[in-house]
Amino acid sequence: MKKFFFVSGRIALFYGLKSLKFKTDDIVLLPSIICKEALLPFKKLKIKFIFYKVNNNLFPNWEDIKKKNHKNVKAILMIHYFGFPNDVKKFINFRKSFKKIIIEDYSHGLDGKYSNFLLGNIGNISISSPRKILPINSGGILQINDNKIKPYFDYQNIETYQVSKIGVLIGKIKNLKFFRYLKFFLKNNLTYRKKINHQNYLNQKKKIDENSYEIFKNKNKYLNKRLSVYSKIYHILKKNKFDIIYKLNFKANPWHLPFYINNKKQLNKLITLKKRYNLNILKWPKYPKEVNKKLIKSNKIIYCVTLN
Ligand SMILES: Cc1ncc(COP(=O)(O)O)c(C=O)c1O
């Protein structure tokens, strides 16, 4: 197994896909619940893809995959949504039965386990995005788990991302307890939002910055903290009868806590809870235009509470 540290998950995926050396007619099966960022490397490398349907538990609809699986399909993408293990055993059976490659997207979690498996060690290649989980400026990992796959890039000569002094300072402020309140106060300020969302550097084909790599090495301290926040938020949502997608699972180190909003009443309740507990709530994902809307259940909108 080999690990390579990049600036973001999408860049780790870019180099991972490159190393798979797909031919022009090869196709990758992708889940229809996917964000724009995850699709970028496929588009950049001009890799053909087809979307498969996803069930309410965000596991694949294997009936749909059966229909779409043919000889040009070389690989399938398995996303562990929000850091919770996906349909691992069925993916492994699929790989074995049809001799396909599993591309494992574990960019929503870190160091999680499922049964006897370590998440991130299952796919022929796997990516993660520690920058989402830890208080770091950059970080995406490509893990090549299959010895037959050789890295098709010159890691030594890839430039390291340099964070400006201001970037390091922002990182330090983010680590302070009061930042949560500061963020809450600043969130409605458009200028602030514009600056922080300007994350073009995540598309640069560079390695993780040195400061982030040092913090990554002490990741356990942060992961434990996140688990206690996760448990608290889970119980708030459970008590208020939200349609939470995954059960409380301490073997996972989730990114966010996802649930469905099916009607206006629940949405109003959510707004009340947001104010009462100062929750940070997001809708996920921002779909790329390539996903056919017919594949997405319009009455099942995924919301999540962030654990940062
Ligand atoms: C499923 C999935 N894969 C990959 C990525 C890319 O990760 P990053 O934002 O670190 O490039 C994201 C996030 O945007 C994601 O949600």
Ranges under pLDDT 50 in the chain: 188-197
Q: Give the model's pLDDT for residue 294.
A: 84
CA of 71 to the centre of ligand 1 (A): 28
Atom of ligand 1 at shortest distance to CA of 35? 16
CA of 239 to the centre of ligand 1 (A): 31
pTM of the model: 0.92
Atom of ligand 1 at shortest distance to CA of 285? 16
Q: Give the model's pLDDT for residue 163.
A: 86
Q: Give the model's pLDDT for residue 175.
A: 65
Q: Give the model's pLDDT for residue 115.
A: 94
Q: Is 209 in the pocket of ligand 1 (CB under 6 A)?
A: no
Q: Give the model's pLDDT for residue 199.
A: 75
Q: Give the model's pLDDT for residue 191.
A: 43
Strands 27-31 and 48-52: parallel
Q: Give the model's pLDDT for residue 297.
A: 76
Q: Is 120 in the pocket of ligand 1 (CB under 6 A)?
A: no
Atom of ligand 1 at shortest distance to CA of 79? 1
CA of 202 to the centre of ligand 1 (A): 10
CA of 194 to the centre of ligand 1 (A): 20
